[in-house]
Amino acid sequence: MLSIALAYCSDDQSAAQRIGGDLASHVNFNHLSVGRSNAGPVLADLAGDYDGRIVLLVSESFLTNPNCMLRATEILGSNRDVLPVYLRNHRYDEELGEVITTQTSLSKQSDLMHYINHWQDRYIDLRQQQDELGSHGGEEFQRYLRKIRETSVQMEEILILLRDAWTLTESQFAANHYQQLFIFADRPALWEEYRAFETAPPLDVAGIPGLDMLRAHTPEAEPTPPLEEDAGAGAQVPGEVERPGPPDPEPEPMIETTPELDLPPAPGIAPEVDSTEQAETWISRAWALFDGGDAGAALELLDSGREALPDQLDLHYHYALLLATSTEDHAAARRETEALLDRSPDHPDALFLGGELCEVAGDYATAREYWEQLSDVEPFYPDLNYRLGILLADHFPEDALDAAAYLRRASRNKKPHAEACYRYALLLKSPIGRKKKAIRQLRRAVELDPTHALAHYELATLLHGQKKYAAARNAFHLAVALEPAFDTEVNRHAFAKQPKKTVVAATPAEEQALQTLKRNIAELEALIAERDLAPSPDPAPAAAPQTKKPGTNKTVLISGATSGIGRATALRLAREGYRLILLGRRQQRLEELAALLLEDHGTETLLLALDIRDRSQLHHAIAQLPEEWSAIDILINNAGKAKGVDPIHEGQIEHWEEMIDVNLKGLLYLTRAVTPGMVARQTGMVLNVASTAGKEVYPNGNVYCATKHAVDALTYAMRLDLVKHGIRVGQICPAMVEETEFSLVRYDGDAERAKIYEDFQPLRSRDVAEAIHFMVSQPPHVNVIDLVLQGTQQASSTVVDRSGRERFAPVDEEE
């Protein structure tokens, strides 16, 4: 027997009882139910005492009940296992005179805004009532007002947690004998047992003596209707017993159907089950028929379904898809798709299918229109970005940058196509001209698909152009092993260990092979033609002496160097030739960063694995620096931390102490240890990485904002103290920055809650690093005292345009 909690609003008790009844033989539910009474229990408190798995029944009633939503983050944001199940909502429409059924959903931004606005409006209305009531509101009213206010403040976070969780609709939850419940509970064997129990044949009682006599004297009972969550028009009032009337004089005529196809009822006959469920059943049945080789029956079933349930648009979509798949009558499928889009212009599946059908027909402009519209509706629709990027690259070469943007997005999928990375690399190489970035994408392509011969060959040519001859030679040999057509005399000469000065002309046979290859691989045409027809280049002459880099012989100490802005700053300054002292708590990450800097830039590094909160250890490490590292030219106080998002009266003291110790005291300890040397040399620079939180406060940012305001004040105070010693002092104040561990640390490692940048494009750590480079690279007579950075979509700490990232997504993805 499985024991599990079922949490819900009391308005949905009938649904909970139905689920409990269905599973009573194998599941023991612990019911956690709350009503709407102001003095009643809060679901978060009931769930707090339960340490097992919880199934959460989410409905319109649930999402508008303060006892359900208050502190719901304690349920959803905890480490416990919670499965939200979205119920159907039923309400009686007096104007229509019928029950309206809707499916609870939080998949769209408009769904979230509906409930956010509901709670905000509710609080505003209560505030107005409070103003009218004055002191007559009473303690009960004040308690209710506080509850609504707290809930409205938390609502966006709660809804995002629900949206991002693994959720099921009521139909999905009940499907296949509640299989998903047993998967969630990690009890697959118990599901097999339950399924066998549910599908067991009924007991054969035909041989029991006297049973016929018993039946003859037992009046036929009316079938018990299924228990619904809300009674519709004409529902029987509880407690009343409806007496069976006399039997009809003649039975209703039977409606003939085709048993093999389970055809839908004729138009005008209402289905006995929910229309969405019925449509899903017919769709599944149709594809099963198609898989079994009976495409005609499948089309007939879906066509009948469209007539019976004309408002179920998925039936129309699957009919069009089946037409295209089974008959290859693309014109008919396209007409059906266009008709569906006339009724629902933003239907994602229809838009994607429409684009596919237009592409097959050679109507690339219309295919582009469909897919670009789908990109606006659902930017990460499966395979969309890859297909749209290829379409633009192949048929709209003038829009190469748009093609690159879509292929870039496709290459960043959780499971990207190797071909997406390869085609993206070709665009980066030409016409965009980002060859280093193209090399990285080609390396990703061959990592995803080691048999991708074209990617190996392109990688070889680009590495050869970068004078990385050994790596180019290895890539070339891999390409040849996969595709022998690349093994020409010209290529062997180009990738030889010792390139020869003599020109070896291609033989006629090799020329014929390459011409065939060029017809099949348009992307390599220019390169192969050049390699076959042009003389091989002589080895490059000795490189001219390199100019001195700006950071040569200068030492920079960066705290918090293992991640985020600190790491990005190390990578940026390494390109300028600076020697770097990298300070951080994690030894392994320091070593990995040092190895990367040495490999890519030949950077000298010194690693200090310590915690800046430890004053004695910090001062000892600075005092014991080797002689050649003791003269620090630039100190970048980057280490910082944000912990918690609690209001001041609920703040956790340990969070406060940690932020004060790192953001303020750690910065002071390190500055105190390093600046005496700068004063002695009468030169140097101190750069503090602050925050816009030091310029303005925001709700629940109390102590973090206070520490950053302190850094802002300290920066100006340091400037006054050190100006007479020729030491420059400045600070950089970025707003929201991704590619850091800021939000993950702030939410105590909760990756789901830390997803705060998904719907807008903030700054990146590399953007801040670029600004830091600007500050430190100014001539000695220029001091940048204060630099504030914001993303285009962020106007203040609380005013953010969350309409999506893609409009401002950066093209440059280099480290």
Q: Which residues are catalytic?
A: 704
Tokens representing 484? Answer: 């022998």
Can you list the positions of beta strands (E) in 753-795? 763-764, 786-789
* Residue positions counted in the chain: 815
What is the per-residue burial (b if ≥16 Cβ within 10 Å, else e) of 340-372?
A: bbeeeeebbbbbbbbbbbbbeeeebebbbebbb
Q: What is the DSSP letter of 613?
A: T
CA–CA dist 727, 732 (Å, integer): 17
Nearest to 712 by CA among 724, 701, 697: 697
State phi, psi for 773 to the nearest 5 degrees.
-60, -40
What is the per-residue burial (b if ≥16 Cβ within 10 Å, else e) of 441-451?
A: bbbbbbebbee
Residue 300 near residue 336, CB atoms below 8 Å: no
* C-alpha pair distances (Å), 139 with each of 126, 127, 149: 14, 14, 15
* C-alpha pair distances (Å), 178 with each of 191, 225, 753: 8, 21, 29
Please list, in sequence order, all residues whose beta carbon lies within 8 angstroms of the beta carbon of residue 385, skipping any fewer than 6 positions away: 375, 379, 406, 407, 409, 410, 413, 420
Nearest to 117 by CA among 71, 175, 63: 63
Burial class (CB in 10 A: 0-12, 13-18, 19+), 732: buried
- In a 13 Å sphere around the CA of 516, the CA atoms on its Cβ side amount to 10
Can you list the positions of beta strands (E) in 143-211? 168-169
Pairing label, strands 684-689, 634-637 = parallel
* C-alpha pair distances (Å), 489 with each of 454, 526, 787: 18, 17, 57
CA–CA dist 282, 296 (Å, integer): 14
